[in-house]
Amino acid sequence: MKGYIQKAETLIEALPYIREFYGKTVVVKYGGAAMAGEERMASFAEDVVLLQYVGLRPVVVHGGGPQIDRLLAKLSIPSERKEGLRVTSPDAMEVVEMVLGGTVNKKIVALINRFGGKAVGLTGKDGGLIQARKYSAPGRGGAPLDLGLVGEVTGVNPDVLRTLERDGFVPVIAPIGVGSDGDAYNINGDTAAAEVAAALSAEKLILLTDVAGVLDGEGKLVSTMTIDAAADAMREGAITGGMIPKVECGLTALRKGVRKVHILDGRVPHSVLLEIFTDAGIGTEITRTSAEG
Protein backbone atom coordinates (compact mmCIF):
# COMPACT_ATOMS: atom_id res chain seq x y z
CA MET A 1 0.00 0.00 0.00
CA LYS A 2 2.86 2.39 0.82
CA GLY A 3 4.17 2.12 -2.73
CA TYR A 4 0.76 2.99 -4.17
CA ILE A 5 0.48 6.01 -1.89
CA GLN A 6 3.92 7.22 -3.00
CA LYS A 7 2.80 6.93 -6.62
CA ALA A 8 -0.30 8.96 -5.83
CA GLU A 9 1.81 11.60 -4.07
CA THR A 10 4.04 11.82 -7.13
CA LEU A 11 1.02 12.47 -9.32
CA ILE A 12 -0.29 15.11 -6.91
CA GLU A 13 3.14 16.80 -6.91
CA ALA A 14 3.02 16.93 -10.73
CA LEU A 15 -0.53 18.36 -10.88
CA PRO A 16 0.27 22.10 -10.46
CA TYR A 17 3.02 21.84 -13.08
CA ILE A 18 0.69 20.09 -15.53
CA ARG A 19 -1.83 22.87 -14.95
CA GLU A 20 0.79 25.62 -15.33
CA PHE A 21 2.36 24.28 -18.52
CA TYR A 22 -0.77 22.96 -20.25
CA GLY A 23 -0.76 24.14 -23.87
CA LYS A 24 2.80 25.51 -23.61
CA THR A 25 5.65 24.63 -25.96
CA VAL A 26 8.69 22.81 -24.58
CA VAL A 27 11.72 22.43 -26.86
CA VAL A 28 14.11 19.60 -26.00
CA LYS A 29 17.61 19.26 -27.44
CA TYR A 30 18.23 15.53 -27.51
CA GLY A 31 21.58 13.93 -28.24
CA GLY A 32 24.89 12.68 -26.93
CA ALA A 33 24.81 10.37 -23.93
CA ALA A 34 20.99 10.47 -23.77
CA MET A 35 20.94 8.65 -27.13
CA ALA A 36 23.40 5.94 -26.07
CA GLY A 37 21.51 2.66 -26.07
CA GLU A 38 17.96 1.48 -26.70
CA GLU A 39 16.91 1.80 -23.07
CA ARG A 40 17.78 5.49 -22.83
CA MET A 41 16.15 6.25 -26.16
CA ALA A 42 12.97 4.44 -25.10
CA SER A 43 12.93 6.35 -21.79
CA PHE A 44 13.19 9.65 -23.67
CA ALA A 45 10.44 8.69 -26.12
CA GLU A 46 8.14 7.81 -23.21
CA ASP A 47 8.81 11.22 -21.65
CA VAL A 48 7.89 12.99 -24.88
CA VAL A 49 4.67 10.99 -25.23
CA LEU A 50 3.64 11.73 -21.65
CA LEU A 51 4.29 15.44 -22.16
CA GLN A 52 2.00 15.33 -25.17
CA TYR A 53 -0.71 13.37 -23.37
CA VAL A 54 -0.90 15.80 -20.43
CA GLY A 55 -1.32 18.77 -22.75
CA LEU A 56 2.16 20.17 -23.31
CA ARG A 57 3.54 20.73 -26.80
CA PRO A 58 6.96 19.08 -27.06
CA VAL A 59 9.33 19.86 -29.92
CA VAL A 60 12.49 17.76 -30.28
CA VAL A 61 15.73 18.96 -31.87
CA HIS A 62 18.30 16.18 -32.02
CA GLY A 63 21.98 15.69 -32.67
CA GLY A 64 23.92 12.68 -33.86
CA GLY A 65 27.65 13.44 -33.75
CA PRO A 66 28.84 9.94 -32.77
CA GLN A 67 26.68 8.34 -35.45
CA ILE A 68 28.09 10.73 -38.05
CA ASP A 69 31.65 9.94 -36.95
CA ARG A 70 31.04 6.20 -37.26
CA LEU A 71 29.66 6.43 -40.79
CA LEU A 72 32.42 8.80 -41.92
CA ALA A 73 34.98 6.29 -40.69
CA LYS A 74 33.14 3.39 -42.34
CA LEU A 75 33.10 5.25 -45.68
CA SER A 76 36.75 6.38 -45.26
CA ILE A 77 35.74 10.03 -45.47
CA PRO A 78 38.22 12.24 -43.58
CA SER A 79 36.85 13.76 -40.39
CA GLU A 80 38.68 16.99 -39.70
CA ARG A 81 38.36 19.48 -36.85
CA LYS A 82 39.65 23.03 -36.59
CA GLU A 83 39.94 24.58 -33.14
CA GLY A 84 37.63 21.89 -31.80
CA LEU A 85 34.93 22.40 -34.43
CA ARG A 86 33.96 19.82 -37.07
CA VAL A 87 34.82 20.72 -40.66
CA THR A 88 32.03 19.63 -42.99
CA SER A 89 33.20 18.94 -46.54
CA PRO A 90 30.64 18.31 -49.34
CA ASP A 91 31.19 14.54 -48.93
CA ALA A 92 30.80 14.81 -45.16
CA MET A 93 27.64 16.90 -45.63
CA GLU A 94 26.06 14.04 -47.57
CA VAL A 95 26.75 11.80 -44.58
CA VAL A 96 25.37 14.42 -42.16
CA GLU A 97 22.14 14.53 -44.14
CA MET A 98 21.91 10.74 -44.30
CA VAL A 99 22.50 10.29 -40.58
CA LEU A 100 20.67 13.27 -39.09
CA GLY A 101 17.85 13.58 -41.60
CA GLY A 102 17.52 9.85 -42.11
CA THR A 103 18.70 7.21 -39.64
CA VAL A 104 18.65 9.14 -36.37
CA ASN A 105 15.59 11.25 -37.10
CA LYS A 106 13.46 8.34 -38.22
CA LYS A 107 14.48 6.21 -35.24
CA ILE A 108 13.37 8.91 -32.78
CA VAL A 109 10.11 9.39 -34.68
CA ALA A 110 9.44 5.66 -34.71
CA LEU A 111 10.05 5.34 -30.96
CA ILE A 112 7.72 8.21 -30.09
CA ASN A 113 5.02 6.74 -32.33
CA ARG A 114 5.59 3.28 -30.87
CA PHE A 115 4.76 4.56 -27.37
CA GLY A 116 1.55 6.21 -28.53
CA GLY A 117 2.69 9.66 -29.62
CA LYS A 118 2.27 11.37 -32.98
CA ALA A 119 5.68 12.44 -34.26
CA VAL A 120 6.76 13.84 -37.63
CA GLY A 121 10.40 14.07 -38.73
CA LEU A 122 11.78 17.23 -40.33
CA THR A 123 15.04 18.84 -41.27
CA GLY A 124 15.61 22.57 -41.35
CA LYS A 125 15.22 22.36 -45.14
CA ASP A 126 11.53 21.45 -44.86
CA GLY A 127 9.35 24.51 -45.39
CA GLY A 128 12.43 26.72 -45.02
CA LEU A 129 12.30 25.88 -41.32
CA ILE A 130 15.92 26.78 -40.47
CA GLN A 131 17.54 29.39 -42.70
CA ALA A 132 21.31 29.51 -42.52
CA ARG A 133 24.50 30.93 -43.99
CA LYS A 134 28.07 29.72 -43.97
CA TYR A 135 29.63 29.95 -40.51
CA SER A 136 31.98 32.88 -40.32
CA ALA A 137 34.21 33.59 -37.35
CA PRO A 138 37.86 34.48 -36.84
CA GLY A 139 40.25 31.75 -35.76
CA ARG A 140 42.89 32.08 -33.07
CA GLY A 141 45.25 33.91 -35.40
CA GLY A 142 42.56 36.33 -36.55
CA ALA A 143 42.19 34.79 -40.02
CA PRO A 144 38.69 33.57 -41.01
CA LEU A 145 37.97 30.04 -39.83
CA ASP A 146 36.74 27.98 -42.77
CA LEU A 147 34.64 25.02 -41.58
CA GLY A 148 33.21 24.13 -44.97
CA LEU A 149 29.43 23.54 -44.95
CA VAL A 150 28.98 24.41 -41.28
CA GLY A 151 26.28 27.02 -40.93
CA GLU A 152 24.92 29.58 -38.53
CA VAL A 153 21.20 30.24 -38.16
CA THR A 154 19.87 33.40 -39.78
CA GLY A 155 16.19 32.73 -39.15
CA VAL A 156 13.57 30.16 -38.18
CA ASN A 157 10.16 29.89 -39.85
CA PRO A 158 7.84 28.62 -37.08
CA ASP A 159 4.75 28.28 -39.29
CA VAL A 160 5.30 24.62 -40.14
CA LEU A 161 5.88 23.82 -36.46
CA ARG A 162 2.78 25.73 -35.37
CA THR A 163 0.73 23.78 -37.92
CA LEU A 164 2.06 20.45 -36.64
CA GLU A 165 1.48 21.46 -33.00
CA ARG A 166 -2.04 22.56 -33.77
CA ASP A 167 -2.78 19.19 -35.38
CA GLY A 168 -1.37 17.28 -32.41
CA PHE A 169 1.98 16.21 -33.83
CA VAL A 170 5.42 16.28 -32.20
CA PRO A 171 7.97 17.85 -34.56
CA VAL A 172 11.32 16.03 -34.48
CA ILE A 173 13.93 18.26 -36.12
CA ALA A 174 17.33 17.39 -37.55
CA PRO A 175 19.61 20.48 -37.33
CA ILE A 176 20.29 20.92 -41.03
CA GLY A 177 19.84 24.46 -42.32
CA VAL A 178 19.24 25.74 -45.83
CA GLY A 179 21.01 28.70 -47.40
CA SER A 180 19.55 31.28 -49.77
CA ASP A 181 21.20 29.34 -52.60
CA GLY A 182 19.55 26.08 -51.52
CA ASP A 183 22.75 24.58 -50.09
CA ALA A 184 22.46 22.48 -46.94
CA TYR A 185 24.42 23.45 -43.84
CA ASN A 186 25.40 21.46 -40.77
CA ILE A 187 24.08 23.37 -37.73
CA ASN A 188 25.13 22.85 -34.11
CA GLY A 189 22.22 21.08 -32.39
CA ASP A 190 22.19 23.25 -29.26
CA THR A 191 22.23 26.40 -31.37
CA ALA A 192 19.39 25.13 -33.56
CA ALA A 193 17.33 24.21 -30.49
CA ALA A 194 17.84 27.66 -28.95
CA GLU A 195 16.75 29.41 -32.14
CA VAL A 196 13.72 27.14 -32.59
CA ALA A 197 12.69 27.73 -28.97
CA ALA A 198 13.02 31.50 -29.45
CA ALA A 199 10.97 31.46 -32.67
CA LEU A 200 8.20 29.54 -30.90
CA SER A 201 8.36 31.71 -27.75
CA ALA A 202 8.71 28.43 -25.88
CA GLU A 203 7.99 28.10 -22.19
CA LYS A 204 11.10 25.97 -21.76
CA LEU A 205 14.26 24.95 -23.56
CA ILE A 206 15.70 21.73 -22.16
CA LEU A 207 19.30 20.83 -23.02
CA LEU A 208 20.21 17.23 -22.24
CA THR A 209 23.87 16.57 -21.51
CA ASP A 210 26.08 14.00 -19.76
CA VAL A 211 26.56 15.82 -16.45
CA ALA A 212 24.13 16.74 -13.68
CA GLY A 213 23.93 20.39 -14.83
CA VAL A 214 25.93 23.51 -14.06
CA LEU A 215 28.35 22.86 -11.21
CA ASP A 216 29.86 25.36 -8.78
CA GLY A 217 33.53 25.62 -7.82
CA GLU A 218 33.17 22.72 -5.41
CA GLY A 219 31.57 20.45 -7.99
CA LYS A 220 28.07 20.79 -6.52
CA LEU A 221 24.99 21.21 -8.68
CA VAL A 222 23.64 24.74 -9.03
CA SER A 223 19.89 24.17 -9.10
CA THR A 224 18.79 27.69 -10.09
CA MET A 225 20.55 30.72 -11.52
CA THR A 226 19.64 33.88 -13.43
CA ILE A 227 21.00 35.18 -16.73
CA ASP A 228 23.24 37.61 -14.85
CA ALA A 229 24.54 34.93 -12.49
CA ALA A 230 25.30 32.57 -15.38
CA ALA A 231 27.08 35.32 -17.34
CA ASP A 232 29.13 36.22 -14.26
CA ALA A 233 30.04 32.57 -13.68
CA MET A 234 31.36 32.23 -17.25
CA ARG A 235 33.29 35.49 -17.03
CA GLU A 236 34.88 34.39 -13.74
CA GLY A 237 35.80 30.95 -15.12
CA ALA A 238 33.41 29.01 -12.87
CA ILE A 239 31.71 27.52 -15.94
CA THR A 240 34.23 25.78 -18.17
CA GLY A 241 34.68 23.29 -21.00
CA GLY A 242 31.72 21.88 -22.84
CA MET A 243 29.26 23.55 -20.48
CA ILE A 244 30.17 27.01 -21.83
CA PRO A 245 28.48 26.63 -25.26
CA LYS A 246 25.40 25.06 -23.65
CA VAL A 247 24.99 27.94 -21.22
CA GLU A 248 25.63 30.45 -24.02
CA CYS A 249 22.87 28.83 -26.11
CA GLY A 250 20.58 28.95 -23.08
CA LEU A 251 21.27 32.64 -22.51
CA THR A 252 20.60 33.39 -26.18
CA ALA A 253 17.22 31.66 -25.93
CA LEU A 254 16.30 33.53 -22.75
CA ARG A 255 17.24 36.89 -24.22
CA LYS A 256 15.05 36.11 -27.24
CA GLY A 257 11.97 35.38 -25.16
CA VAL A 258 12.16 31.80 -23.88
CA ARG A 259 10.98 31.80 -20.27
CA LYS A 260 13.26 29.15 -18.73
CA VAL A 261 16.21 27.01 -19.73
CA HIS A 262 17.03 23.68 -18.10
CA ILE A 263 20.36 21.85 -18.39
CA LEU A 264 20.23 18.30 -17.09
CA ASP A 265 21.69 14.82 -17.27
CA GLY A 266 20.08 12.93 -20.12
CA ARG A 267 21.50 9.64 -18.84
CA VAL A 268 19.04 9.67 -15.92
CA PRO A 269 15.90 7.68 -16.80
CA HIS A 270 12.91 9.98 -17.40
CA SER A 271 15.07 13.02 -16.70
CA VAL A 272 12.74 15.35 -18.62
CA LEU A 273 9.73 14.38 -16.50
CA LEU A 274 11.72 14.65 -13.27
CA GLU A 275 12.87 18.15 -14.16
CA ILE A 276 9.49 19.51 -15.25
CA PHE A 277 7.06 17.82 -12.87
CA THR A 278 8.85 17.66 -9.52
CA ASP A 279 9.43 20.40 -6.98
CA ALA A 280 13.19 19.93 -6.71
CA GLY A 281 14.01 19.03 -10.32
CA ILE A 282 17.27 17.27 -11.12
CA GLY A 283 19.30 19.77 -13.16
CA THR A 284 20.07 23.48 -13.45
CA GLU A 285 17.30 25.95 -14.20
CA ILE A 286 18.28 29.32 -15.70
CA THR A 287 15.75 32.14 -15.61
CA ARG A 288 15.70 35.71 -16.86
CA THR A 289 15.18 37.16 -13.36
CA SER A 290 15.29 35.79 -9.80
CA ALA A 291 11.52 36.32 -9.50
CA GLU A 292 10.97 33.61 -12.11
CA GLY A 293 13.04 30.97 -10.30
For the question of residue 24 being annotated catalytic, the response is: no
For the question of residue 107 being annotated catalytic, the response is: no
Q: Are 77 and 91 in contact (CB under 8 A)?
A: yes
Q: Which of 65, 102, 127, 128 is catalytic?
A: 65
Q: Which of 29, 107, 125, 260 is catalytic?
A: 29
Q: Whole-angstrom Cα distance, residue 158 to residue 126?
A: 11
189: burial class by Cβ within 10 Å (0-12, 13-18, 19+)? buried
Distances in Å between the alpha carbon of 53 and those of 30, 46, 257?
20, 10, 25
For the question of residue 29 being annotated catalytic, the response is: yes
Q: Which of 190, 250, 260, 283 is catalytic?
A: 190
Q: Which of 107, 204, 246, 260 is catalytic?
A: 246
For the question of residue 190 being annotated catalytic, the response is: yes
For the question of residue 246 being annotated catalytic, the response is: yes
| Residues in Cβ contact with 48 at an 8 Å cutoff, skipping those fewer than 6 apart | 28, 58, 60, 112, 117, 119, 170, 272
For the annotated catalytic residues, the residue numbers are 29, 32, 65, 190, 246
